[in-house]
Structure 1
C-alpha cells in the first residue's frame, strides 16, 4: 500500500463529516510507550475526523501547512508547535468548500502558494501570516481557468516556476510577489509549443535548469531573470538533447548527469560556461552509468551509479576522473540492488540500500572512505520491511524515517548512526496497525509529520510533532563513606541536585554508573550500595530523581545477606536498545560478575573474572572494545590483587581475544587494586581502556588502546604523593567526538572532581563535589542527558531532594521494596528476601 493512497487529493471535494463542535484544539501527550526520548505530541485539528495536515513549510520560524476541517474545508493553517499557536490563516473560500491550497514555498520570508476560488480558478497567492495579508498575486490565466504551477524555486528573492497560460506553452515564469512583476521570463520554444523547463537549481545565485527550445532537444540553460540573460549553457547532443538531470551544486561546481551521444548517461560538471562543461568520468564504458541522487556532503559529491556489473552502487567524486571512485557494492551478486536516499547528516552520508531479490532495506552511513562505509542496521525487522524513501529527515545528527514492519506496522523510526540507536520512536497506532507517518519536515529543529492514530477500521490523520531536545552533560559522584549522598553536576561543575538513593541513615559508600536502562532515551543513574549495605542496586531517572517506573529499577544483585558491597557498570551487551546493568562483588564476595537485562531483569550471564578464591572483589566498566556495537565488560581486581585487566563478552562471559583483553596496567607487584573505565579516547570507533591505581598506588591514570594495549595517555590526576588512589570514568564531555577522562580521589583526598580532554589532557572541569573539607573519597560516573530545550533548569531542579531533605523514597536496605514485573504490571517481582534467595539459589556469594 502506498502512502499516497492516504493523502487527500487537491482536486477532490472534502469528505462529508459531522459539523465540528466549538471545541479548542486538543494537545495530547501520548501514552508512555516510546522507545526514545522525545514523545510525539498530537495536535488534533479536527476532533471529529481527519484533518490531513500536509505540505509543512517554514517561513520566519512558523510552520505553515494545509488542513481540512468540516467548517472551512481545505485551507491554509499555521502553527508554532503549541495549541494556542495553531490556527487558520485565512478562509479564502468561506464555508466548507475550501480553496485547496497547494504549492507552498518560502520566498525570502513570504509564503507563496496556489489556491482555487470560484472567481479566479487556481492562481498564485501569497501571505504574511494574517488573514488580511493573504492576497492574490495575479490572475495569470484570466477568468476561472487554472494556473498550474510546476517546478518552482526561489532564487535571490524571486519565484521561478513552469507554467502555460494558453498563449505560450509550458515556459519559464517568475514573480516578485506583485501582479506587474509576475511575468514570462522567455518563450524558449516559440508559440504554443512547450520548452518544459525543469530541474531548477540555484547555482551561485543563478537559476540553472534544463529546457527544450524545439531544435536542440533538452539541454542545460541558465537565467538571471531577464529574457536577454536566459541562454543555453551547452548543446550536448544535437536535436536529440543531452537531457541533463540531477543538477547539484558542490562548492561552486555544478554536477549533473547527461548524455552527449558518445558515452551514454554519465557524470558531468560545469562552471556555468560551455567551455567549462566537461565529462567527469565514463562510469560504465559499456552503457549508461546513470548517476543518480547526487548529494553534496562536506564538499564531496556522493551518488549512485552503475558500472555495468551488478546494480546501483555508491560512488564519490572530487570532480576529477581519478578522484571519482566506487565506495560500496553492497551485493556484487545482485543486479537489482538500489542505492537510494542519500542524505547529508552533519557531514556524514546516510543512505539506504534496497536489496532487489529480497525487497529488504538496509540503512548505511559513510565518511567517504571504504573502511568508513558501514552498515548501520538491516531494516528488514520482523521478516520484512517497507521503507518510504521520500520521508527521511535529519534533525541534529539524527535521521527520522517511516518504516513498515511485521511487528509494528508502518510507524516512525529514527537512527543516530548506530545499530542500537536505530529504533522505533513510537508505536502510534499500536500493534500491527499502521499510523503511516508522512510528510516529515524539520522546522527549526522540530519534527512535524502527519499520522493516523485512529482505532482499527477508521482513519484519523492529524498533526504530530516532536520538539527539539538538547544534550546535557551530567557528572555524577557518589560518596565513599560518611554520607550516602549522590550529587549531580553539569559540565561546569554547577551542582544540579543531590539525593540519597537509599536512606540518609546509610553512611556506607554509594557506587554510581549511568545509562539508559529502560530505553526511554533519558539518562538513568544507577546506584549500588557499598560495604555494610547489602548488594542493593537502585536506578533513578536523571530528570525526575525518582526510581524509574519501567525496566530494572531496584533489586539485589547477590544474596541479600552479603554485605561486602557492589560495584556497578552499565552498557548494552546484547544490542537490544536497553542498557544492561553489570555488577561486581566487592571485598569478601569473590570476583563475581553478573549481567542483568535492563529490559526484563533476567541474568544474561555471570562469571568469575579471576580465581573464585580471590576475596578482594572486582571493579568493572563497560565499553565496546572489539567494535561489534555491543558492550564488553572490563574488569580490574580489588585490593590484594595485581593490576590485572581483563575483558569479557557481555553476553557469554568468555574472555575476548586480543592484546588489550588480558594485561597488567601497572607493575605486577602492585596489590592496591585498580579502578577501570572505558571510552573511545582516540575516536577510532573502538572504546579504549582507562585505569586508575587503587590505594597506595598514587593518583596514576593510564589509557590503553583497545587495539594493541599501547599507552595513549599516562598522567597523575592529583599530587603524585597522594596515596589514596584515583577512581575514573569516561564520556564525551565537550562533544568533540573524543571520550574524555573523569577522575575523583579515593579516601583521604578531598572531593576534587576533574575532567581531562581525551585529546590533549587539558582541563575540561575542575571543581569540588561537596565540602572541600570532606576527605571520605568519591566514586564517579558521567553521561549525556537528553532534555527538552524549553525546560527550565530551575523548575527541573525542584523535583529533586536537597541533601537536607528526605530522599525520594525511604528504601530499606534490609529488604527490597515491592516492585512490579516488567512483563506484567500486576505481578510482583520481588516478594521477600526468602524468594530472592530461591531466585538466586546457588548463584549468590556465600
Structure 2
C-alpha cells in the first residue's frame, strides 16, 4: 500500500482565518482553548452561521458542550449545563432550521435541549418530567417539527413532538396507555431510526397488546397508527433497518415462528400494511443500504445454514443474490456500508484475504475486492467510512501500523497518516465541515482528541489537547456539522 503524499499546509492555515465559527460539543484544555469557566461558557454573543458539535471533557468540568473554529485557541466551552460535580453528556444532535436539538443531563436530569451556537442560546426546551428523568431519545425531524421519545412522569416512554418552545412541546399520543412504555426505537440488530416515508414518520412502538411493531404518524393523535402486526398477538416483530429505495420502504422483522425476513410497506390501500418480499423463511436480512433504486443487504438463503452473502431486491419483485463472494457453504459476511462514486462499498471475506473492502455495481462480475489492506487471511478491521473531497476515507489496519486513517478514490488505496506509531489511533466519527475532514483519534500521547485532515500527511494534525496529557478529551458518540 502507498502512503498519501503530503502538501504545503500554509494555505490551509490561512484559510482557517476566514472560516466561520465551529461549534464543538467538546473540551479542549483551557491553556490551549480559553477559559469559559463556571456555569457559563466562552465565546462572543454573535450567533455563528456554521459549526461542529461534539461532546468532550477537559478533565475538570465534565462532559459538556464546547465550540471551535478549527484551531486550538478558538476551541472553548460553550456552556457548562450540568454545573460543578457532574456531566451533562449531550448526545443525539439533530438540526431543525437554525437550531440544533440534543439530549443532556442538566439540573432537571435528562431533558431536551437546544442551541444556536452561543452560550445564551443553549438552553433546556422544557422540563418534560418534573419529577425525574425524561430521557429523550431517537430525535428526528418531520414536517417542521422535532420528534422524539420521552417520559413525563405519568406516562411511560412515548412519542413526543416539539417546535422548540416549552408550550409547543407535547406528547403526540399515549400509545401504550398509562405508565407502560410504548418502547419506540426498540428493535433487532442495528435498530430502527424514525424515518420519513410517504408523508409520514415511521417508527417502532408497543401498544401493550400487539408487541413492538411498525407504526407511523402524521403528527396528530388520530393519525398515529400501527402499520401491521407481523408477529401476531403480544409478541414482538422488532422491525429493524427501515430503508427507502426506489420509492419503497423496506425493513426486516421476525414473525410468530421467529423467522426473520424482508418486508416492504404497502400504502396502496385505505390502511398501510407490510408485505413480505422474499419467498421462503428465515433469510435474516441485515445492513440494508439503498443503491441504484434497490435495497442491498446481507442475508442467508431461505431455510438457513448461515451462509451470509450479498443480496438485493429485484425490480420485478422478490430478492436475488448478487454474488456468492465466499463460494460454497462458507459465509463472506458481506455487509453493505455506503454508496460512493456510483458503486456500493461493503466489507466481505472472500475466503482467502480476510474481511476487506469490496465494491459492487450490482452484478456478480462487478463485485470485487478493492484491496487486501491487511495481507493474508487477517481482517483489516474497516470502519467509519466517509466520503470527503472525491475520496472514501475509513479506518483500517494493515497489520503493521494498527488502526489508522486510510482512503481510496476507487483505485489505489493508501494510508493517510500513521497517527499513533506502533499503536492504534482508532479514527472515528469522521465528519466533513468547510472543506476539512474532522475526526476523533488517539496519537498515544494526548488521548482521544479532535483531529483534522486535508488528505495529506502534513495536513493531518491534532486541533488541540482538550484533556491535557493522556486523558481523553472527546467522550461523545458523534461529531455533528451544522452548515
Partner of 1:320: 316
- Which structure has the higher relative contact order (CA within 8 Å, separation 6+)? 2
Structure 2 residue runs without a partner (length 5+): 14-25, 34-47, 186-191, 460-483
Contact 1:309 1:335 (8 Å CA) reproduced: no
Contact 2:200 2:216 (8 Å CA) reproduced: yes
Partner of 1:208: 202
What aligned pairs does 1:604-619 form with structure 2 within 5 A after superposition? none
CA distance in 1, matches of 2:275, 2:7: 48
Deviations 1:370-402 (A, max 9, x none): 22111101232477345254x221224422111
CA distance in 1, matches of 2:153, 2:60: 35
What aligned pairs does 1:345-360 form with structure 2 within 5 A after superposition? 345-354=340-349, 360=354
Deviations 1:664-684 (A, max 9, x none): xxxxxxxxxxxxxxxxxxxxx
Deviation at residue 247 of structure 1 after TM alignment: 0.8
Contact 2:92 2:138 (8 Å CA) reproduced: no
CA distance in 1, matches of 2:425, 2:8: 15
Partner of 1:679: none
CA distance in 2, matches of 1:386, 1:191: 50
Deviation at residue 178 of structure 1 after TM alignment: 1.0
CA distance in 1, matches of 2:375, 2:29: 34
TM-score (norm 2): 0.77
Asked whether 1:374 is paired with 2:371, we answer no
Partner of 2:432: 442
Change (3 A) 1:298 1:383: closer
Deviation at residue 161 of structure 1 after TM alignment: 1.6
Deviation at residue 155 of structure 1 after TM alignment: 1.6
Tell me how many residue pairs correspond in the alignment.
Answer: 418
Asked whether 1:127 is paired with 2:120, we answer no
Change (3 A) 1:38 1:377: farther
CA distance in 2, matches of 1:224, 1:386: 44
Deviation at residue 231 of structure 1 after TM alignment: 0.7
Partner of 2:244: 249
Q: SS state of the match for residue 381, structure 2?
A: strand
Structure 1 residue runs without a partner (length 5+): 1-32, 51-58, 470-518, 522-846
Deviation at residue 183 of structure 1 after TM alignment: 1.5
Q: SS state of the match for residue 338, structure 1?
A: coil
Change (3 A) 1:136 1:278: same
What aligned pairs does 1:422-433 form with structure 2 within 5 A after superposition? 422-430=413-421, 432-433=422-423
Q: SS state of the match for residue 334, structure 2?
A: strand
Which residue of 391, 395, 406 maps to 1:398?
391
Which residue of 172, 176, 200 maps to 2:163?
176
Change (3 A) 1:399 1:334: farther
Which residue of 298, 312, 319 maps to 2:292?
298
Contact 1:35 1:520 (8 Å CA) reproduced: no
What aligned pairs does 1:634-653 form with structure 2 within 5 A after superposition? none
Partner of 2:51: 62
TM-score (norm 1): 0.46
Change (3 A) 1:150 1:233: same
Q: For the pair shown, which has the larger CA radius of gyration, 1 or 2?
A: 1
Give the aligned CA root-mean-square deviation in angstroms: 3.3
Which residue of 143, 146, 149 maps to 1:159?
146
Deviations 1:380-428 (A, max 9, x none): 2477345254x2212244221112343101211112222xx21211001
Deviation at residue 80 of structure 1 after TM alignment: 3.9
Asked whether 1:46 is paired with 2:15, we answer no
Deviation at residue 275 of structure 1 after TM alignment: 5.9
Change (3 A) 1:339 1:382: closer
What aligned pairs does 1:233-244 form with structure 2 within 5 A after superposition? 233-239=227-233, 240-244=235-239
CA distance in 2, matches of 1:165, 1:44: 31
CA distance in 2, matches of 1:412, 1:382: 20
Q: SS state of the match for residue 387, structure 1?
A: coil
CA distance in 1, matches of 2:242, 2:232: 20
What aligned pairs does 1:85-124 form with structure 2 within 5 A after superposition? 85-94=74-83, 97-117=86-106, 119-124=107-112
Deviations 1:740-774 (A, max 9, x none): xxxxxxxxxxxxxxxxxxxxxxxxxxxxxxxxxxx
Contact 2:158 2:184 (8 Å CA) reproduced: yes
